[in-house]
């Protein structure tokens, strides 16, 4: 891909030196720019010389003096300036392998790219890297990065990932730790395979690398209805989820005594399945594992509790909050709490069952437009429908489109048209829910 500049920020250094949209970045200090990591590393100096090719072919050499680490103020047509590296693994739990046919092609692309781990928080397995790639991460201080570990047992990891090069993850994590790279780790727990004593081994191994391995998140395996011909997997239930919580709690207590934090945290799904109360806010620290569903319930509660004081007590409005099965009780409780603070509001909560992927998929982030439309079209809904913004797909694969697209390629506009209602997207943390209700209510 070419390093085409798609945007120049107003008032930026780039604008001052007449860099324009459509220009092509060739080099910085005579170093070719292969990808976004090269770019971010090479622009840190206080004095740089950049080479720009104009759309009509003229080459400009521009000298720039700036503050150390000051950005030039340009954005590129492709976020990483290169094709993302694809995953060569065949993980027994891979969600992409469980997708139905006929979805957009980009959804079937498995990325395993450390640049996306750095820029967008994607997880990588480290199986796609040569030693020079690890050295580059250390040299360029690409930190933090997110690594899908799943197990530190070499033989078991090879089996789970179906890649004969997968067994050296712990050695590579040790090298990254020695090089000063911060790593956040993830484990997808599969009952009877990498949980129990195997998970305990993984936790203890990774803990030895703390604080370089900063945290460990564990999420339960997700199984869609499209697993025909794939590795047979068991699902968690109330009893097994509770057992996982109890087993991990013993180690968490030990770690809190030693380092002040639990180090390993389970996603909210475990607590919902086990019908257990989620931990308190201080357990989650800075909530830096929210993308794994770790602490989402707690931060949602905290945000509603802290922001309800801003609720307009004289406002009237009718709203329908839409969510998945897992979060339903939490959203229902939040709606009642808001109505207790303003009984003029009519807030309904509707649970959407995931028929698209199968009823075993219960998280709101995997809801599709089709299920939302089908399950709301015959129901009484409020003037506005509030939907969590984590149903909207983001990332490099969507390019620069302004369309708000769900997994099944339906857009927010499609849902609005089908239901004849305005969709209000709320941050999945609930941070802006009260503001949204205030904005779209009518004062009495």
The DSSP bridge partners found for residue 47 are: 65
pLDDT of 396: 44
pLDDT of 397: 47
For the cut 50, the answer to whether the pLDDT of residue 400 exceeds it is: no
The DSSP bridge partners found for residue 316 are: 442
Of the residues 252, 274, 294, the one at which a domain ends? 294
- Per DSSP bridges, beta strands 74-76 and 5-8 are antiparallel
Alpha-carbon distance of 115 to 125, in angstroms, equals 13
Would you say residue 417 lies in a domain? Answer: yes
How far from 149 is each of 282, 292, 356, 414, CA to CA, in Å? 25, 14, 29, 38
What domain count does the chain have?
3
Tokens 């994607």 label which residue? 122
For the cut 80, the answer to whether the pLDDT of residue 23 exceeds it is: yes
* pLDDT per residue as tens digits for the range 56-77: 989 999 999 988 878 898 888 7
Say whether both 66 and 100 belong to one domain: no
pLDDT of 36: 75
* pLDDT per residue as tens digits for the range 117-152: 455 557 888 887 888 888 988 988 888 888 999 999
Alpha-carbon distance of 190 to 255, in angstroms, equals 24
Of the residues 42, 76, 110, the one at which a domain ends? 76
Would you say residue 91 lies in a domain? Answer: no
Lowest mean pLDDT among 31-35, 46-50, 414-418: 31-35
Residue 341: which domain range? 301-443
For the cut 70, the answer to whether the pLDDT of residue 52 exceeds it is: yes
Of the residues 254, 269, 294, the one at which a domain ends? 294
pLDDT band for position 86 (50/70/90)? low
């Amino acid at each position: 891909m070419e390093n085409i500049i798609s945007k120049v920020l107003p008032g930026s250094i780039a604008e001052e030196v007449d860099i324009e949209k459509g220009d092509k970045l060739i080099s910085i200090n005579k170093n070719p720019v292969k990808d976004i990591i090269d770019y971010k590393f090479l622009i840190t100096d206080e004095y740089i010389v950049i080479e720009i090719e104009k759309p009509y072919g003229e080459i400009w050499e521009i000298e720039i003096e700036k503050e150390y680490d000051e950005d030039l103020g340009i954005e590129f047509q492709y976020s990483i300036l290169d094709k993302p590296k694809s995953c060569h693994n065949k993980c027994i739990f891979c969600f992409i392998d469980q997708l139905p046919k006929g979805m957009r092609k980009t959804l079937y692309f498995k990325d395993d790219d450390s640049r996306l781990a750095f820029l967008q928080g994607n997880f990588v397995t480290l199986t796609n890297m040569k030693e020079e790639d690890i050295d580059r991460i250390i040299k360029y201080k690409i930190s933090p990065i997110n690594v899908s570990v799943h197990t530190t047992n070499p033989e078991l990891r090879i089996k789970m990932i179906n890649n004969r090069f997968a067994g050296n993850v712990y050695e590579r994590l040790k090298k990254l730790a020695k090089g000063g790279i911060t790593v956040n780790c993830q484990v997808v727990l599969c009952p009877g395979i990498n949980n129990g004593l195997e998970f305990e081994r993984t936790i203890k191994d990774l803990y030895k690398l703390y604080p370089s391995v900063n945290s460990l998140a564990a999420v339960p395996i997700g199984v869609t209805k499209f697993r025909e011909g794939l590795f047979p997997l068991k699902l968690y239930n109330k009893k097994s989820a509770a057992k996982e919580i109890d087993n991990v709690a013993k180690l968490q207590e030990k770690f809190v005594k030693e380092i002040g934090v639990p180090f390993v945290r389970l996603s909210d799904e475990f607590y919902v399945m086990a019908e257990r109360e989620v931990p308190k806010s201080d357990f989650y620290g800075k909530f830096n594992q929210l993308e794994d569903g770790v602490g989402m319930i707690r931060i949602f509660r905290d945000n509603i509790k802290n922001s309800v004081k801003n609720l307009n007590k004289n406002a009237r409005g009718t709203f329908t909050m839409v969510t998945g099965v897992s979060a339903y009780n939490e959203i229902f409780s939040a709606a009642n709490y808001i109505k207790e603070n303003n009984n003029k509001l009519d807030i309904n909560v509707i649970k959407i069952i995931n028929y698209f992927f199968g009823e075993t998929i219960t998280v709101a982030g995997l809801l599709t437009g089709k299920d939302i439309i089908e399950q709301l079209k015959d129901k009484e809904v409020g003037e506005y429908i509030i939907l969590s913004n984590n149903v909207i797909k983001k990332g490099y694969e969507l390019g620069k489109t302004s369309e708000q697209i769900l997994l099944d390629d339906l857009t927010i506009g499609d849902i609005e048209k089908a239901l004849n209602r305005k969709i209000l997207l709320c941050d999945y943390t609930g941070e802006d829910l009260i503001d949204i209700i205030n904005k779209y209510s009518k004062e009495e």
